[in-house]
Amino acid sequence: MTPTQSPICLIYAGGTFGSHGTPLSALPAEIFLPILSNLYGTTDHHVKILNNQIIKDSSLMTPSDFVGFYELILTAYHDGYRRFVLITGTDTLSFLAAFLAHAFDEFTDLSLVITGSMQPLLLPQCADLSINYDSDAWNNLSQSLDLAAAQCGTFVHFYHQSFDAKHTQKINSQAPNAFVGADAIFQKSSPPSINTAIYLNQLPSLIKRAKSVKIRSVYVLPNDPNTLADELLAAADTCAVILIGYGAGNLPKSQAMIDALAKLTDRGVAIICTTMCTHGGTNMDYAAGAWQYEHGVWASGSLTIPAIYGQILWLSITQKLTAWHWKSS
């Protein structure tokens, strides 16, 4: 099966897109997908539904779920499919997208588009499951199908915009243009020099590590520096800590902080400093931020929190979590 002959594999994972009722909750696949098929059946695309068992509110997603989607797509890729659209909830969409983008970084002939919606496809309180024509859901999906058919790469598509899946973030909990990110990078399709059987053989170990991996965040607040140091020490049982600082990555300097960073780095815990600001990223322009990089902290540059998490998770479960492999931009 060549890429041009391959249908687009659609993965339904729940989220707002397929939710119904009050309060909203995701409909089971056997109820929702027949309704959806009546819509995508009107397009020019040949769509194949992949059997996915992970259907839930995205706020409940775990590393094991992320690896489950990786397994599903990798298995279909091994069987000859090259084009995929994944519908998921928006709360963790950016985290999942970044993870999958790193996981499939070497698959140069693959097209994967992650999408969702801010309003359900169906009218929430209508018992006969009628289409909500004011929803953003169908536009997001139909445009994602177009993108998957035309371009190679891993993307987030939302509200008429296509983003690089490694660099997106949800910034609005209500509006349809809920995401920002780096512009999508379209790559020319080329057969990758990879053996998918090797990747499939690695799956059992990835699944096992995903069940036990721990990544924590520490959010900087204007408390006594000793409080922040205590929070860092409480994260010593993790593989990585995302340290969310002020402005350009600034945080208070104290001997307690220096000692805490030393204890974590001695234990092999990766510490990545980012910013609570939506735009701008981190830099070393201020003494209030630059000091930490002399004590083992890794720079995040322009990466968002979801981008950091997705990259760290992939590096952790593949046992490549080192400064050498870390990419801050």
Q: Which residues define the annotated binding site?
A: 58, 90-91
Mark whether 62 is an active-site residue: no
Strand pairing report for 47-49 and 111-115: unpaired
CA 277 to each of CA 241, 250, 274, 312: distance values in angstroms, whole numbers, following the listed order = 18, 11, 9, 20
Sheet holding 8-12, edge to edge: 47-49, 8-12, 83-87, 111-115, 153-158, 161-170, 179-183
Please name the helix (run of DSSP H) or strand (run of DSSP E) that holds residue 270, with its range, or none. Answer: strand 270-275
Q: Which amino acid is at 204?
A: P
Which single residue is written with the structure tokens 């070393």? 284
Cα–Cα distance, 260 to 241 (Å, whole number): 12
Cα–Cα distance, 209 to 236 (Å, whole number): 18
CA 50 to each of CA 17, 57, 119: distance values in angstroms, whole numbers, following the listed order = 17, 19, 23
CA triplet 307, 311, 313: central angle to 5 degrees?
115
Looking at the DSSP assignment, which residues form a beta bridge with residue 164? 155
Phi, psi of 299, deg, nearest 5:
-85, 145
Q: Which amino acid is at 133?
A: Y
Strand pairing report for 270-275 and 240-245: parallel
Give the rounded distance of the alpha carbon of 288 from its chain centre. Answer: 30
Strand pairing report for 153-158 and 19-20: unpaired
Q: Which residues define the annotated binding site for substrate?
A: 58, 90-91
Among 16, 115, 238, 274, the one annotated catalytic = 16
Which sequence positions are flagged as catalytic? Answer: 16
